[in-house]
Amino acid sequence: MDNAFPHVTSSRISHLRNGWTGHVLALLAGAAFPAGLAPLDWWWVIVLSAAGLLWLLKDLSPKQAAARAWWYGFGFWGTGVSWVYVSIHYFGGTNLPLSVLLTGAFIGFLALFHALQGYLFSALKLQRFQVVGFPALWVLMEWMRTWFLSGFPWLFAGYGFIDTPLRTLAPISGVMALSFIAVLIAAMLVEFLRLRGGYRLLPVLVVVAIYGGALSLQKYSWTYPDLKDPLKVSIVQGNIAQQLKWDPEQRDNIIHTYTSMTIPLWGETDLVIWPEAAIPVFFSDALPLIEYMDLQAKENGAAFIAGVPFWEPSSTSGRIIFHNSVFSAGQGSGIYHKQKLVPFGEYVPLENWIRGAIPFFDLPMSSFTAGSSNQQPLKAKGFLLAPYICYEIVYPELVRTLGIRSDVLLTISNDAWFGHSLGPLQHFEMARMRALEMGRYLIRSTNTGISAIVDHHGKVVSRLPSFEPGVLTGEVYRTVGTTPYARWGDWPLLTMCAALFLLAGAFGWVSKPKRAQTRLDS
């Protein structure tokens, strides 16, 4: 009976897209998206979520599509970066109502990226060629988030596929290539539901071909480890509560925690690593400690790496500037100043206007200056380590630029800011993707977790439990070879997406919609 009246059922389903009902569905579809990422990693939810947005954008004006996509984005970010509330309220000293307001404002701002996506999709009539136009536009919007207003490249669709057969495409074209494939599959799902008869086989064949191609690459490795020359590393996870981190009365206890956990390691390891800002005083004030650790490391044939705040006179203005830094000592050398600073956490935009307005805008160590873009890798026992502090590891191009000149990737962080939220788990998944893209081993040292060693395929070799003090010791290796992504970066993919986007837009404007096909959609 259902097949006898397809237009009745289709029209009822289509009615769900109208008005506020469609907005609510978009909000729910966006809110579901992060379930495809860590910790659940239900990758199929990403496909369904993107397919839901595509279906909900059908036949809308540019203004309507922008509003619809904004609601999708509000759900998307509302669940995906809910950990922002934890940072603002619990560790930023901001009261509950204002914390909710600030979190909502941040989420609403990020949702504007989706609103722009919806507007362009409708205005350029990409619906007529949505199979290529929609995934190309999605990737271009993800790329925009890597640089616009210093960037916030979080929640890329491709991260959800790091443990699926599609992962083999990451060393070739990066995480955004996985995003393109994920959203392409979503568009194919919409096409499957739209088409009738034998035409339904076409999207199925495309998806099968994609997975078949990815599976065929599983036994191929672009890089391989040089097993003759391992570096034995020991990661010290102090598990210092964020409330105590910058308390002057706790400095001696914090330093004692790290030094006492390190003493048994001398003579047993090649490299000792402390996490971001493990030393809770400026480099110049910590010189007695640093000289002691330098001497201990040299006497035991080891290198020592730690995070520390740093100050120096500006080369231009002469005023004092501050950096979030990491240095190498002992049988190692070099210092790196963080380039990508966290807004409000490490610097305050419009500082002269809003500093002191609320406690969150006056956090300890929130006046840092970004380091230069031409810094060198750290050296440790003959290895070159590409250092990234905190969320720098989520910037694919930043990691690639320094990583291609290094033997091993190193990231240090303090994820205590996010508590027991989704943040640390998402952060770790993104770090794993960088190892896969670059074909390099990754060392991750954090204050409260997740501290881990990841191999050149993005697989976790070993890790420490979160929110527990501990030491993780293991081996990392130089890798021989270079991945296509390490060599070429995102530009081949972005060029393809830009071409598809422009072609879909051009053909959308010059072609006429097929009435018969439209009736099947309605």
pLDDT of res. 319: 85
Residues 478 and 491 in one domain: no
Task: Report the DSSP beta bridge partners of residue 326.
Answer: 307, 336
Residues 81 and 144 in one domain: yes
DSSP string, 113-138: HHHHHHHHHHHTTGGGGHHHHHHHHH
Residues 142 and 280 in one domain: no
pLDDT tens per residue, range 62-71: 999 999 999 9
Helical residues (DSSP H) of 348-422, grouped into ranges: 351-354, 396-403
Is 497 designated active site?
no
pLDDT tens per residue, range 110-163: 999 999 999 999 999 998 899 999 999 999 999 999 999 888 999 999 999 999
pLDDT at 10 over 90: no
pLDDT tens per residue, range 246-284: 889 999 999 999 999 999 999 999 999 999 999 999 999
pLDDT of res. 132: 94
pLDDT tens per residue, range 313-361: 876 766 888 899 999 999 999 999 999 987 756 655 544 444 444 444 4
Catalytic residue among 58, 125, 245, 338: 338
Contacts of 291 (CB under 8 A, 6+ apart): none
Catalytic residue among 142, 191, 276, 429: 276
pLDDT at 457 over 80: yes
204-213, 297-306, 345-354: which range is least confident on average?
345-354
pLDDT class for 200, splitting at 50, 70, 90?
A: confident
pLDDT of res. 270: 98
pLDDT at 362 over 60: no
Residues 229 and 275 in one domain: yes
The residue-averaged pLDDT of 470-478 equals 98
Residues 213 and 231 in one domain: no
pLDDT at 5 over 90: no
The residue-averaged pLDDT of 426-444 equals 98
pLDDT at 434 over 80: yes
pLDDT, mean over the chain: 90
pLDDT of res. 131: 94
Report the CATH number at residue 271: 3.60.110.10
* 3-class secondary structure, 205: helix
Count of structural domains within the chain: 2
Is 338 designated active site?
yes
Residues 411 and 510 in one domain: no
pTM metric for this prediction: 0.91
pLDDT of res. 8: 40
- 395 contacts 151 by C-beta, under 8 angstroms: yes
Angstrom distance (rounded) from CA 162 to CA 222: 16
Catalytic residue among 142, 340, 381, 390: 390
| Residue 370, CA distances (Å) to 378, 409, 422 in order | 18, 20, 27
* Cα 51 from chain centroid (whole Å): 22
* 3-class secondary structure, 456: coil
pLDDT of res. 1: 38
Is 276 designated active site?
yes
Residues 459 and 361 in one domain: yes
**H/E element holding 491?**
helix 491-510
pLDDT tens per residue, range 27-44: 999 999 999 999 999 999
Residues 312 and 285 in one domain: yes
Residues 329 and 193 in one domain: no
Residues 476 and 331 in one domain: yes
Residues 392 and 492 in one domain: no
Domain housing 159: 2-220+487-521
Residues 209 and 247 in one domain: no
The residue-averaged pLDDT of 407-426 equals 92
ω into 450 cis (within 30 of 0): yes
Show the tokens assigned to 14.
């289509």
17-21, 202-206, 496-500: which range is least confident on average?
17-21
DSSP string, 416-448: GGGTTSSHHHHHHHHHHHHHHHHT--EEEEESS
Closest CA to 242 of 504, 501, 417, 432: 417
